């Protein structure tokens, strides 16, 4: 087994000070280039880089936090991550990301990597089908976990997400108030807690309004812009076509509006459309997208704060904190709405 190489070992082997060696290895111009080269060669020969990893064995914190979501390219996660990053930056934590694409094996492999690296914590939006034991495993191995956006029954850790059922209710109540009686719901899947809760909110709002739900109004599946675009064709073939569509997310709604336009229909005039998330793009879209603000920045900030509190010694809490969403009325639901 290799001996640990310290800066002083390299310094001694060359007859230099430890400070000089340290500066040279960080490529400081304070050390002459020839000397730097000599120091780097000696360090390499002695296997110093590997032993920088060994050095981390002596501290209990690596300064690394992992973040794993199903798709980092989704602006909803992008906005959560921006506020997570802000919090972690202030604590000088390095932040590494991974897409699991709802693949349990990928998620597990990232968790393994974090354990191997001795990471300080994990912020996770769990893949579809994540068993509670996959969250208890890192927890039991001193890698605290905070959940965002999705939660897992029995995981025993803190999670932050919007109150999806209430939020979808806000959108559907608004469409009902505008006079719509045939309202479709486009996108999302019952495989995620988000999908289940938003659908429950949609169904409850129809019931509140005394509207009998018709199964053909529910177009399940779409979760991105492209599948939202494709869903417009399906929507347009519904018998006794709905006059309004409450979409699972802004991406789905923006794609759906592209699809309506492609078919010659005007979103906000011919068909009322609502989104969910209030991503940056919603307010500038054509037409501006009526949507539900989902508190992304609050979810991100509070998840990061909770993780940092765990690192500071606070015990795990088995609780899901629901952030209250807000409706943002814009012209996609009613073109006559003032801009």
Q: Which two tokens stand for residue 163?
A: 């109150």
d(CA 239, CA 216): 8
The residues in 30-89 that bind its own copies, with binding defined as CB under 8 A, are 40, 44, 49-54, 56-58, 63-64, 72-73, 75, 78, 81, 85
Question: Which one, 78 or 200, has the nearer CB to its own copies?
Answer: 78
The residues in 117-136 that bind its own copies, with binding defined as CB under 8 A, are 117-118, 133
d(CA 105, CA 109): 6
Compute CA 312 distance to the chain's CA centroid, rounded to the nearest angstrom.
Answer: 24
234 binds its own copies (CB under 8 A): no
**Cβ contacts of residue 190 below 8 Å, gap of 6+?**
196, 199, 220
Phi, psi of 66, deg, nearest 5: -95, 145
Residue 198, classed as helix, strand or coil, is: helix
Among 135, 152, 185, 257, binds its own copies (CB under 8 A): 257
Please state the closest distance from residue 269 (CB atom) to its own copies, in A.
14
Please state the closest distance from residue 202 (CB atom) to its own copies, in A.
25
Taking a C-beta distance cutoff of 8 angstroms, is the pair 318, 154 a contact? no
Instruction: Return the ∠ at Cα 184 (arms to 181 and 188), rounded to 5°.
Output: 150
Q: Which of 68, 79, 71, 72 has its CA nearest to residue 294?
A: 79
Please state the closest distance from residue 199 (CB atom) to its own copies, in A.
25
Taking a C-beta distance cutoff of 8 angstroms, is the pair 280, 252 a contact? no
Please state the closest distance from residue 53 (CB atom) to its own copies, in A.
5
In angstroms, the Cα distances linking 226 to 246, 254, 255 are 17, 9, 6
Neighbours of 70 (CB within 10 A): 21
Among 61, 90, 208, 262, binds its own copies (CB under 8 A): 262
Stretch that binds its own copies, among 15-23, 160-168, 180-188, 223-231 (CB under 8 A): 223-231
Please state the closest distance from residue 107 (CB atom) to its own copies, in A.
12
DSSP annotation of 298: H
Among 14, 46, 97, 200, binds its own copies (CB under 8 A): 97
Stretch that binds its own copies, among 108-116, 160-168, 195-203, 211-219 (CB under 8 A): 108-116
The residue count for binding its own copies (CB under 8 A) is 55
User: By the criterion CB under 8 A, which residues form the site for its own copies?
Assistant: 1-2, 4, 27, 40, 44, 49-54, 56-58, 63-64, 72-73, 75, 78, 81, 85, 94-99, 109-110, 113, 115-118, 133, 137, 140-142, 225-226, 229, 255, 257-259, 261-262, 280-281, 284-286
């Amino acid at each position: 087994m290799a001996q640990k190489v310290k800066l002083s070992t390299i310094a001694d082997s060359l007859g230099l000070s430890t400070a000089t060696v340290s500066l040279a290895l960080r490529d400081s111009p304070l050390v002459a280039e020839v000397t730097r080269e000599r120091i780097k060669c000696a360090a390499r020969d002695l296997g110093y880089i590997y032993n920088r990893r060994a050095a981390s064995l002596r501290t209990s914190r690596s300064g690394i936090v992992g973040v794993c979501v199903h798709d980092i390219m989704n602006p909803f996660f992008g906005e959560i991550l921006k506020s997570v990053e802000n919090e972690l930056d202030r604590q000088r934590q390095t932040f590494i990301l991974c897409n699991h694409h709802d693949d349990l094996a990928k998620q597990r492999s990232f968790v393994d990597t974090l354990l191997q690296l001795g990471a300080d914590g994990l912020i996770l939006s769990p893949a579809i089908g994540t068993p509670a034991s996959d969250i208890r495993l890192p927890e039991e191995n001193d890698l605290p976990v905070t959940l965002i956006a999705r939660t897992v029954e029995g995981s025993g850790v803190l999670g932050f997400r919007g109150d999806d059922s209430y939020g979808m209710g806000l959108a559907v109540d608004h469409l009902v108030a505008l006079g719509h009686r045939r309202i479709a719901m486009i996108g999302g899947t019952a495989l995620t807690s988000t999908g289940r809760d938003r659908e429950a909110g949609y169904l409850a709002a129809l019931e509140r309004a005394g509207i009998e739900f018709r199964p053909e109004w529910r177009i399940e599946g779409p979760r991105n812009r492209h599948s939202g675009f494709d869903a417009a064709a399906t929507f347009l073939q519904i018998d006794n076509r709905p006059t309004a569509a409450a979409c699972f997310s802004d991406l789905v709604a923006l794609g759906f509006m592209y699809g309506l336009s492609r078919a010659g229909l005007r979103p906000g005039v011919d068909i009322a459309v609502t989104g969910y998330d209030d991503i940056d793009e919603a307010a500038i879209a054509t037409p501006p997208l009526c949507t539900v603000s989902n508190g992304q920045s609050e979810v991100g900030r509070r998840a990061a704060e909770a993780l940092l509190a765990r690192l500071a010694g606070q015990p795990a809490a088995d609780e899901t904190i629901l952030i209250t969403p807000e409706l943002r009325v814009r012209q996609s639901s009613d073109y006559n709405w003032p801009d």
